[in-house]
Chains A and B, each alone.
Chain A
C-alpha cells in the first residue's frame, strides 16, 4: 500500500533570537502548528515537536497526511415543490441547480427535512495536498508567534518578526514547501554553528534534522544543551573542590544563549571578596552570566564558571578575556560601594523627595513617612498582643531607611538588589542588626515560593509597605485588571497574606486597612479616600488569601471558603478554623450536616426578605411538632458548648459539637414541613432556622462545603 503519511520539518533560521523568549516561542509554535494541522485534518497521530536555539526556531512532525481525505457533502437545493412541476418533470430551478454541480438532474437526491422535502446534490470535495495547505498556513503560523516587540528589516510592509529571518527549511517528505519569509525562500539548507559548523547543512527530513545539525555543532534540543552545561559545571567545580551556586534562572538563560555550550573556569582577585556575596553574585550573573562558585561553608570562592558557545577555549584567550572583563565589573561595583557610602544611608532621605512613587501619591519621601507611621502602628498592635519582640522604634527606623537605597548608584545599576543593598549599607554602617535585616528583607516575599522577612521588624515594615501601596493605589483608582498590574498589587496582597499566615502574627486586616487609609489622609499629599476603598482592598486581599491557601494545599478550597465566609479579618484565625474543618470533615456527621445547612440556606433564600417572616425571637409556644421543639432545645445546648470551645480556641471541638446536631436536624427535616400553612408556625420555623445558621456559622460557613469533595 502506498504510504499515506510523510514527515515534515520546518526551521526558521534567524539572527540571534533573545534567549529569554525562546522557550515561550517554541511552546507557541507547537500549539500553532498543531492547531493548523488538526483543523486541516493533516495530523495522523502524534504531534509536533518544536526546538529553539539562538539562531533557529524549528518544528518536526513524523506523521503528516500527504493529502486530506475526500469529503462527500450534500448541498441543499430548492424545495421539492419548486423543483418538479405537477407532471413530475424537473423545473428550471432543478435543472439550474443540477447544472451548477455538473450532475444530471436524475442524480439529484431528495432529502426530507423538518420543513419538507428538498432536492440536494451530492458533492465530492477533493482533499487538498498537505503541501498546498502548508503553503497557505505556514506564513500565517509564523505571524501568529507572539513576541513582546517585533521588528521589520525588509521595509515597513515586510514581515515583522523578532529578528531578521535569514534562511528557512520547510520540507514535506523531503520536498521543499513553497514559502518565503521576509526575503528568505524555503529550501533544504539549514546553517550550522556560526564558527564551528558548516554554513550550509543539507536537511533531508524530520528524522535527520537533529543529527545533521549536531554534526555541525548545534544541539537543537534545549534539554541536551542543559545536560551538557550541567555536566560541565559539576565537573569543573568538583575539580576545584567547590560547589556551583545554583541559579535556575541563569541556567535557563545560558541554555538558550548557546547552540553548543561549554563551560570554562576563571578566577578573580580574592581582594574583591571584601564586597558582599550578594553583590558579587549579582554582578557575575546579571552582567556576565557567570555561575558563582562556593566553598563548602557556603562562602564565595574567587572563581567563576562562564558558558561559552564553542567546543573549547583553544588558545586560553577566552578565559583571560572573561577574567579581565570581570575585574572591570567588580571594580565598578567597588566604585559604587565606596561612593554610595561616602554618606550614610539616612542622608539619602532628602533625595527620595525627588523620586516619584506615583503622581497622585507623591514621592518616595512621602511614602516613607506613611510606611513609618503604619509600621509603628503594626508593631504597637503586636506589642499589645504580648509579643515582646515587636519594637516600635526598630520598625520606625527600618521603615525610615528602607527606601534610601533607591537613589544609590548600586541600585540604579542593579535594580533587583533594592532592599538588599540598603540592608548591606545599614549593616556596614552599624545600624542594629534587626533593622539592617528588616531593610534587606522588606520587599519579600517576591513570589509565592519566596521566603518572608526573617525578623518581626522586617515583617512589620514589609506589611506596612505593601498595605500602603495597596490602599494608596486603590484610592487613586489604580486597580489591577487582567494582566495590567503595574504596581504589582497582586504580589503585594500575596505578600501580606503570606507574612500573616506564616508568622501566625495576629492582625486585624480591617483595622490595618482603615489605619492605612487614615494615614493616607493625614500625611502629605493628604489623599481623601472614598469609603468604598476599604472594602475593595479587603476583598482584593481575601481573593489573594484564597489563592495562597489553595496553592499551599494544606486545606481544600471549600474548607478555605467556609472558614473565610465565617470571618476573614484575622487570617491566622481563619486558617486555624479551616484546618479544624478539614480535621473533622471526614467524621460521620459533618458532610450530611453541611448538606442540611445548605438546604436551610436555600429555604431561607426562597422565603424572601427577612422582614417578611423574621420574628424578634423564636417562640416555643408556636411550635407545632415535637421535632422542632427538640431541635430548638438541642441547638441551645450545643450552642453554649460550642461557644465555650470557640472562646478557648478549640475550633475542632466546637465543630464536633455542632456536627452532633445532625440527628436532630435530620429528624426535623423528616418530620417537619417548614413552609406550614399557618403563618405564625411558618414564621417561627424560619426564624429558628435562620438563628441556627447564624449561630453555627461563626467558625465556618458549612453551606460552603462541597459535599463529596476530598478533604
Chain B
C-alpha cells in the first residue's frame, strides 16, 4: 500500500489523490502464460476522502470517459471486502466486473494501520493492464499495443517470466527471511527513536522511511508465502510482526501530523 493511500486516509483532513502504482504479488505470477494474471500489474489508485455520496455514478462515468458504452456491457458490483492483514487495513466494497472480468476494486476503507477511519475514504483501484486489453479488444494483456512499434509483451513479458521463476523457485528462503528481519529491525529502531525524540525532532522525523521498511517486510512475507516455506502458525506470526510495525507507523504518523498541524497553526498565529 502506497503511503499516499495508507497514511493519507488517516486523520480528518479531506484529501483526494490519483496515481499509478505497480503492484507486485508474488503468488499471482504465471510465468507470463496467463492472459490477465500477472506478478506485477498496474493499478490506477484513487483516494477520495471523504467518500462522495454519488461515488458509484462517478466511477461509472469514468468508465464511459475511457470509451466503454455501459449499455453494451455487463458491469456489476460484486461483494469483495478488501483486507491487508499485514498492514492492519480493511474495508468493505466490491470487485467491479466488466463482462465477468475484474477491473476494479472498490473499497470503503474502515481501518488503516489498525486505526478506525473517520471520515471514511473510498478507494478505487483500476486494473490498468486488463482495462487496456479490453479497450484494445485483445485477448491477452501482453498483446496490448504499448507504442507504435511495441507490444506490452515486448516490454514486460521477460520480467514476468523471470520474476515468476524467482518467486516460485529461486528465492532463497534463508536469505529472504534474513532480509525480512533486517527491514523489520530498521523499522523498529526508527520507531523507537521516534518515541524518544523531542517535539522539534519529531516534526521531520523519517517515519516515512519506517513505513518504507514495513512495506518491504510485507513484500518479503508475500515472497516467503509464494515459496510455500512458511507454516500456518508461522504465517500468522509473521503477519502479526508486520502488522505491529504498520500500526505503530500509522499511530505515530497521525500524532506527528497533528503535532505539525498544531505547531504550524500556532506559529502562523504569531506572525
Query: Could you tell me which A residues sit within 8 Å of B by CB distance?
Result: 15-16, 18-20, 54, 149, 151-157, 163-164, 166, 183, 194-196, 257-258, 288, 306, 308-310, 313-315, 317-318, 320-322, 324-328, 331-332, 335, 351, 354-356, 359, 363, 407
Q: How far is the CB of B114 from chain A (nearest CB, A)?
A: 15
Chain A residues lying within 8 Å of B228, measured Cβ to Cβ, are 351, 407
Please tell me if the beta carbons of B99 and A321 are within 8 angstroms of each other in the complex. yes
Q: How far is the CB of A319 from chain B (nearest CB, A)?
A: 8
Please tell me if the beta carbons of A19 and B71 are within 8 angstroms of each other in the complex. no
Known contacts A15-B77, A328-B36, A363-B231: A153-B101 contact under CB 8 Å: no
The interface bits of chain B over 103-118 (1 if a CB of A lies within 8 angstroms of the residue's CB, else 0) are 0000010100000111
Q: How far is the CB of A609 from chain B (nearest CB, A)?
A: 52
Q: How far is the CB of B224 from chain A (nearest CB, A)?
A: 12
Chain A residues lying within 8 Å of B156, measured Cβ to Cβ, are none
Please tell me if the beta carbons of B34 and A328 are within 8 angstroms of each other in the complex. yes
Chain B residues lying within 8 Å of A19, measured Cβ to Cβ, are 78-79
Please tell me if the beta carbons of B72 and A315 are within 8 angstroms of each other in the complex. yes
Q: Supply 30 A–B pairs (Cβ within 8 Å), ascending by A.
A: A16-B78, A16-B79, A16-B94, A18-B79, A19-B78, A19-B79, A153-B51, A153-B108, A155-B119, A156-B116, A157-B118, A164-B51, A183-B53, A288-B100, A314-B71, A314-B72, A321-B74, A321-B134, A322-B74, A322-B99, A325-B99, A326-B100, A328-B37, A331-B35, A332-B34, A335-B30, A354-B229, A354-B230, A355-B231, A356-B232
Please tell me if the beta carbons of A335 and B34 are within 8 angstroms of each other in the complex. yes
CA distance A587 to B72 in the complex (A): 72
The interface bits of chain B over 32-50 (1 if a CB of A lies within 8 angstroms of the residue's CB, else 0) are 0111110000000000001
Residue of A nearest to B74 (CB): A308
B76 at the interface (CB under 8 A from A): yes
Residue with the highest number of chain A CB atoms closer than 10 Å, among B73, B116, B134, B230? B73
CA distance A64 to B115 in the complex (A): 45
Chain A residues lying within 8 Å of B91, measured Cβ to Cβ, are 151
CA distance A163 to B139 in the complex (A): 34
CA distance A637 to B210 in the complex (A): 90
Please tell me if the beta carbons of B101 and A325 are within 8 angstroms of each other in the complex. yes
Please tell me if the beta carbons of B79 and A318 are within 8 angstroms of each other in the complex. no
Chain A residues lying within 8 Å of B81, measured Cβ to Cβ, are 149
Residue tally, chain B, CB below 8 Å to A: 46
Residue of B nearest to A335 (CB): B30
Determine which of B36, B92, B110, B229 lies in contact with A163 in the assembled complex, contact meaning CB atoms within 8 Å.
B92
Please tell me if the beta carbons of A151 and B108 are within 8 angstroms of each other in the complex. yes
Chain A residues lying within 8 Å of B30, measured Cβ to Cβ, are 332, 335
CA distance A151 to B74 in the complex (A): 27
Known contacts A19-B79, A151-B92, A332-B30: A318-B108 contact under CB 8 Å: no
B56 at the interface (CB under 8 A from A): yes
Chain A residues lying within 8 Å of B98, measured Cβ to Cβ, are 321
Q: 8 Å CB contacts to A: which residues of B49-70?
A: 50-51, 53, 56, 60, 69-70
Residue of A nearest to B120 (CB): A153
Please tell me if the beta carbons of B110 and A151 are within 8 angstroms of each other in the complex. yes
Please tell me if the beta carbons of B110 and A152 are within 8 angstroms of each other in the complex. yes
Please tell me if the beta carbons of B77 and A16 are within 8 angstroms of each other in the complex. yes
CA distance A19 to B34 in the complex (A): 29
Chain B residues lying within 8 Å of A324, measured Cβ to Cβ, are 35, 101, 139
Chain A residues lying within 8 Å of B119, measured Cβ to Cβ, are 155
Chain B residues lying within 8 Å of A317, measured Cβ to Cβ, are 72-73, 99
The interface bits of chain B over 77-93 (1 if a CB of A lies within 8 angstroms of the residue's CB, else 0) are 11101000000000110
| Known interface pairs A151-B92, A356-B233; 7 further A-B residue pairs with C-beta atoms within 8 A, sorted by A's residue number | A20-B79, A152-B110, A155-B120, A183-B53, A317-B73, A321-B98, A325-B36
Determine which of A154, A195, A407 lies in contact with B75 in the assembled complex, contact meaning CB atoms within 8 Å.
A195
